[in-house]
Amino acid sequence: MQIALVGIGKIAVDQHVPSIAASPDWELAATVSRHGTVEGVAAYTQLSEMLDAHPEIRVVSLCVPPVPRFALAAEAIRAGRHVMLEKPPGATLSECHTLEALARQHRVTLYASWHSREAAMVPAAKAWLADKKLTRFTVTWKEDVRRWHPGQAWIWQPGGLGVFDPGINALSIVTEILPDPIHLTAATLEVPENCQAPIGAQLAFAHPTAQVDMVFDWRQTGDQTWEIEAETTQGTLKLLDGGARLQIDGSEQGEDADALKGEYPRLYANLARLVARGEIDMDLAPMRHVADAFTLGHRSLTEPFHE
């Protein structure tokens, strides 16, 4: 199937373009971007121009920042195209619900993709936890914003999410592997004096049997930390390297894998199945927790951020 990629920035170049190129399901047939292009692929600066020029391209993958994404997604859906949304699927929950209703009205596929759920050991972690009684659950998600988001000023503006841009990756895994639902009870958001979005967050959640705490931080230097630990009455599980590695009671499960390898190829395989079946996947559970943090969180000003 032919697909168009909208927004040729770092994540598109690093993940989407190579994943599409390696896929047996997809052919990158057009791009839409104000600045970026892909060699040998038809390039446009406006989505409307691409839609008019290529009625044969039935699928659009959106890699633009969250705030402008709604208008582009709605335009593509109204043109009868299937749409894949980078995470988070939008700037607000309400606009995501609107997009889903619009997709159902126009009978097209809409896919809210969560790439961290596709990490190698997430399914195994979910299976192991399914019949366990949880007593304590901790998430430590610390990385270097300068390394992963160089020059991306939009992440510090309203709708950019700040540290919840990576933090929502952790939440996407948590909401996939936990058999019982959780909800936020308290949060502290550390906001740089010159920014609108947090650079750090400490979160506490209610759970039927366990204490659940999470720490997100965008100031980590050196080794990056993407860890989830679940203590149960039958042992302890650790998901390491963003879900690429799994330990049960200290014993490594499966083979070591690159933390990012395979996630985006699996997203595009999921998209192909959804389009073939005419289905919609708009799970917004990770985004609900982020919205709750912004609603309930205590804001604490911290030193200005300068790249």
> What pTM, to 2 d.p., does this model score?
0.95
Residue 187 belongs to what H/E stretch?
strand 183-192
Confidence of residue 256 (pLDDT cuts 50, 70, 90): low
Given the residues 87, 126, 142, 261, the one annotated as active site: 87
The C-alpha atoms of residue 253 and residue 16 are separated, in whole angstroms, by 28
Question: Tens digit of pLDDT for each residue in 80-132?
Answer: 999 999 999 999 999 999 999 999 999 999 999 999 999 999 999 999 999 99
Residue ranges covered by each domain of the chain: 2-112, 117-254+291-302
The confidence band for 260, taking pLDDT boundaries of 50, 70 and 90, is: very low
Length of the chain: 307
**What b-and-e string marks burial along 156-180, b requiring 16 or more CB atoms within 10 Å of the CB?**
beebbbbbbbbbbbbbbbbbbbbee
3-state DSSP assignment of residue 35: coil
For 135-181, how does the pLDDT look when each residue is reduced to its tens digit (9 = 90+)? Answer: 999 999 999 999 999 989 999 999 999 999 999 999 999 999 999 99
Name residue 58's amino acid.
R
CATH number of 117-254+291-302: 3.30.360.10
| pLDDT tens track for 201-255 | 999 999 999 999 999 999 999 999 999 999 999 999 999 999 999 999 999 998 6
DSSP, residue by residue, 99-142: HHHHHHHHT--EEE--GGGGSTTHHHHHHHHTTPPEEEEEEEEE
Q: How far apart are CA 89 and CA 288, in angstroms?
A: 11
How far apart, in whole angstroms, are the C-alpha atoms of residue 307 and residue 157?
15
202 within 8 A of 212, measured Cβ to Cβ? no
User: How much is the pLDDT for 259?
Assistant: 45
Q: Does domain 2-112 have CATH number 3.30.1440.10?
A: no
Q: Which of 295, 260, 161, 177 is nearest to 216 (CA)?
A: 161
DSSP 3-state helix, strand, coil percentages of the chain (rounded to 5)? 35, 30, 35
Tell me, yes or no, if 10 is annotated catalytic.
Answer: no
16-32: average pLDDT = 97
